[in-house]
Each structure stands twice: as structure tokens, then as C-alpha cells.
Amino acid sequence: MATLEELALVHTPVKGDALAHLQRLALSWRLLADLSFADLLLLAPVANEDGHRFVVLAQVRPTTGQTLYVTDLVGHVVDEVERPLVTRAWRRAEECEGEANVLGGKERVRLQCIPVRHRGREIAIVTREAPTTSGRRPGELERFYLEAFDRLARMVTEGSFPFAREEIELEGAPRVGDGVILLDADARIKYASPNSVSSLHRMGIHAYTSGVHLAEIGFDEGAVDTAVRARMPVIEEVERDDASILLRVIPLLEDRKPAGALILLRDVTDLRRRDRMLMSKDATIREIHHRVKNNLQTIAALLRLQGRRLDSPEARQAIKESERRIRSIAIVHETLSREAREEVDFSDIVKPLVRVVEETVSTEDGGVRFEVDGDAGELPGEVATSLAVVLNELMQNAVDHAFPQDESDEPVHGSVIVRLSRREQDLLVEVIDDGVGLPEGFSLDQAKGLGLSIVQALVTGELAGTIEFHREKGTRVEVRIPLAATAATKVVEPPA
């Protein structure tokens, strides 16, 4: 379906600021449809046809009543025979009312044609299309809603609606069905809908009386004063007696001067209560991650103390490796403790991991240089934890085996690159070193080291991925993890 802008530029003479005015109208006119209980169509004249034909640029259905048009009419061209009232309103540049058939049918409707002006020039027509009432007398709510619509329709005709800097109507902003208060030129209550009265009751205001100022019933008039003085809509949330009410105040203008206001109210008390509960839950989750991180660091410190008391070099090395693995998991929980989300930016984990390994092999005379290339993006916390352990083991394995210390105790020199790349289907992690390379006949399945056994178990089981070792100038380890598998990981028994 073509957009309003495309239809206008192709079929009509409307462009520039006038076109922007129509776009603002189409973004804000649901209010008019709800107040009028009717469908609204926005029609602009076909270029160079003197009002004989019009194209429908936009359409809105009411949420307060039943629509007459189930199908979309945007792009439909209406001629003078189908809608003579539209042509009359356009040529006379004045509002016209009457009856007509629905477009594409025989059902009769009440038709109101409202000229749309911008900077004193007529640029389009809005039609209000409502079912015939067969003499039915409207109720109080309907009468006041239609009065508010008529006043806004006059603002459309004089060019003061939509507002030049109309705020974007956010999802969840108050609508007509949520509650309406109509104020007169003296800012006194002229009418309050039942839903708006319920919202006032929620705030502890029970003394509703028409003809009084809002302040007289204990309602803060600050938002109303701001909207009327600025001649612009204002959205504000007020809290009182544990109730939260979202207001949208729309000034009503006559000859561009304030002549009342329309207040839409939405009770968001329960929504805000849920928001506070979620914030409390998020804070609790962050605190849990923070405590887990502290506990892991405490365990690592205890292991370090225990390792210093051991005489066996093999035992001390095993304790040291266990401490390093615990620290890698602690880094993930530290990152998760800073943000209350289920996913974590893996780049915030890789860099601390690299520093932990780099500290073990860096000296004043030399060492192994580490480099991180690429970005893995955001990953679920449980995936980031497993991947952090895998990456830690692979980097430590490169340090231990790619750059062996010779008998001369000369400082080793080399580099390890951690390369991360994320594609549509998978995540690729590569650890590349320029060391001595893989030994002859190397096979991951036959590897007896605990580190590689942990890596294989986590990659193939927990992460449902694959791992490959390649002999190049040094060694390149390629870990590929399918992204679809990160949502549901498997529990894997630790290697024996």
C-alpha cells in the first residue's frame, strides 16, 4: 500500500509544508474519530482537475463505535458523482453536511465535509462518515463528545489543528475511551465522562461538580495552565494517594486563542505498580549476580591460599588452574550484576578474560601479546558463562603449549589473536597463535588434558556447537556455536 506522502506527490498538488501538515493530521486524528464515533477519510484533490476527483490519502476508524468501512480505502479515487458534497465543500471552502451512500455500497450515511487549511490555504477535505441515527436522541456523553469534535473540526478548518509541534502520541497515551474532561473558556469543568470520574475517585477526589475549576476539587491545574498558555498539547503524569494518572491536555482554540481545553485521562496505577515490581526484581537479580561474583572471588582466594601451602608442583598447578576457571565465571557474573538483563555484551567479558591470562605470561623482558578482533554481540547469561570458560581454556592452552619455555629460561615472545564474528546462523570464535603448532597426530578425541576435555564437553554439549583445530603458521582453534541453540542449552556432566 502506498504511503500518504507517495499518494500526495503522485496524484495531488500538495507538497512541502502543506504535505507535512497532512501527515501530522493523520498521526493525531484518531482523537477526532473517537470523539465523533465515526470513520474519517482524508481526501486531497487530484491535480489539475478543479475538484472533480479526489484521492483518499488516509483513513481512520473509531475505537468508540463501529466502522462503516471494513476494507481499506487509501488510494481510492472518488469522483464528483460519488461525493458531490466533497466537491461543494472544496469549491466553497466551507463545511458541508448531508447524506450519501457509503463508498462502494448502497448504505446511507451522514456525511460531514471539513476543509483542511494550512497557512490560510485549503489543501484537503476531511469527511466524517457516520451511520444515520433514524431520529435517535443522543445521550449526554455523545452530545459532549460531538461538541468537542466540532470544536476541533473548526480548528482543522482554521489551520490550528494539528498543532505545529504536536507531540508524538506514544503507545499507552490516554485515549478518548480512557476518560475525558471538557473545560470551558474559563477553565471550568463542563463535562466529565464516567471513566474520568472513576480516575478522579482513584486519586481520592470524590467532589466532582460541573461548573467548578479543577483546583476547587483538589486537582492540580499545572498541566492545563501550561497547555493553554503554550497553545500546545501537554502530556503529564500525576500521582496522588498511591494512584498514577496519565494526562493529555489539548487546548481548544477559537481564532487561535484559548477557548477551553480537552483532558484525556488514563489510570496507569496498576501499570506503574508492575513497573516498580519489575525494577525491584531487576535490582534483586543484580544483587544476586553481585553476591555470586563475590562468593566466587572468595573461593578463588581460598584456593590461592591453599595452593601456597602445598609442596607438590602438580597439586599447586591444579589449584592454580581451578582458581583461573572460577575467576572466568566470576567475570560473567560481575558483568551481569551491572545490568538487569538476561543478555550480556560478550565484549565486556572478553577483555577482562584476556587480561587474566595475559598477566600470567607477561614479563618486563617479553611475553605473549594478546589481541581481540571483532564482536560477538549480546549473548544470554548462561551461554556467556560457558563460552567464557571455553575461551579461557583455549587461551591458556595456547600459552602453555604454543610457546614452551626452553632450558635457557629466555623470555618467550609471541601473539594470540581472539577473533569473534557473528553471523545470521551462528557465532564464530577463533583463537589463533603463532607458536610451535600442533604436535604430529594430534586428535581432540584422544587429548587427555583436563582443559581440552572441559572445552569439548562445553562446546559440543552445553552450547551444541563444534570445535576444530587447524595447523597453520601456528595453531588456529575454531569454535562455531549455532545461535538458535543458545536459547535452550543442555546440562552436561563434567568430564571424569
Domain assignment present for residue 221? The answer is yes
308-356 pLDDT, tens digit per residue, is 888 888 888 788 778 877 877 777 777 767 765 678 888 888 888 888 7
Report pLDDT for 280. 65
Q: Give the full edge-to-edge strand order of the sheet including 426-433.
A: 367-374, 413-422, 426-433, 475-482, 466-471
Domain assignment present for residue 257? The answer is yes
Of 151, 199, 159, nearest to 175 by C-alpha is 199
Domain boundary among 280, 311, 341: 341
Do 124 and 11 belong to one domain? yes
Whether pTM exceeds 0.85: no
**Residue pair 332/344 in contact by the 8 Å Cβ criterion:** yes
| Stretch 426-454: mean pLDDT | 82
Is it the case that residue 491 has pLDDT exceeding 60? Answer: no
- Whether omega for the bond prior to residue 162 falls within 30 degrees of 0, making it cis, is yes
- The CATH number given to whatever domain includes residue 380 is 3.30.565.10
Do 298 and 238 belong to one domain? no
Q: How far is CA 366 from the centre of its chain?
A: 49
3-state secondary structure 149-174: HHHHHHHHHHCCCCCCCCCCCCCCCC
Domain assignment present for residue 170? The answer is no
Confidence at 181, pLDDT banded by 50, 70, 90 = very high
Domain assignment present for residue 348? The answer is yes
Do 276 and 262 belong to one domain? no
Is it the case that residue 130 has pLDDT exceeding 60? Answer: yes
Q: Give the full edge-to-edge strand order of the sheet including 39-45.
A: 77-79, 53-60, 39-45, 121-131, 108-118, 96-101
Q: Which residues contact 488 (CB under 8 A, 6 or more apart)?
A: none
**Residue pair 375/422 in contact by the 8 Å Cβ criterion:** yes
Is it the case that residue 266 has pLDDT exceeding 60? Answer: yes
**Residue pair 414/402 in contact by the 8 Å Cβ criterion:** yes
Task: Please tell me what DSSP assigns to residue 339.
Answer: S
Do 139 and 59 belong to one domain? yes
Category of 409 on φ-ψ map: left (φ > 0), alpha (ψ -120 to 50) or beta: left
Do 137 and 10 belong to one domain? yes
Do 348 and 478 belong to one domain? yes
Q: 13: which 3 cell numbers? A: 498538488
Confidence at 195, pLDDT banded by 50, 70, 90 = very high
Report pLDDT for 396. 82
- Look at the chain and report how many structural domains it folds into: 4
| Stretch 117-121: mean pLDDT | 94
Q: Of 226-235, 379-388, 415-424, 453-462, give the range with the top mean pLDDT.
A: 226-235
Ramachandran angles phi, psi of 262, nearest 5°:
-115, 125
Do 419 and 494 belong to one domain? yes
- The CATH number given to whatever domain includes residue 37 is 3.30.450.280
Do 432 and 466 belong to one domain? yes
Do 351 and 496 belong to one domain? yes
Provide the pairing of β-strand 413-422 with 367-374.
parallel
Do 372 and 250 belong to one domain? no
Do 305 and 445 belong to one domain? no
Domain boundary among 158, 184, 217: 158
Domain boundary among 341, 374, 389: 341
In order, the DSSP letters of 258-274 are EEEEEEEEEE-HHHHHH
Q: Rounded to 5, what percent of the chain is helix, strand, coil? A: 40, 25, 30
354-388 pLDDT, tens digit per residue, is 887 777 665 555 577 888 888 888 888 788 888 88
| Stretch 59-85: mean pLDDT | 93
Q: How far apart are CA 495 and CA 389, in angstroms?
A: 14
- Burial class from Cβ neighbours inside 10 Å (0-12, 13-18, 19+) for residue 448 reads exposed
242-265 pLDDT, tens digit per residue, is 888 899 999 999 998 999 999 999
Do 396 and 427 belong to one domain? yes
Domain assignment present for residue 253? The answer is yes
Q: Which domain holds residue 288?
A: 270-341
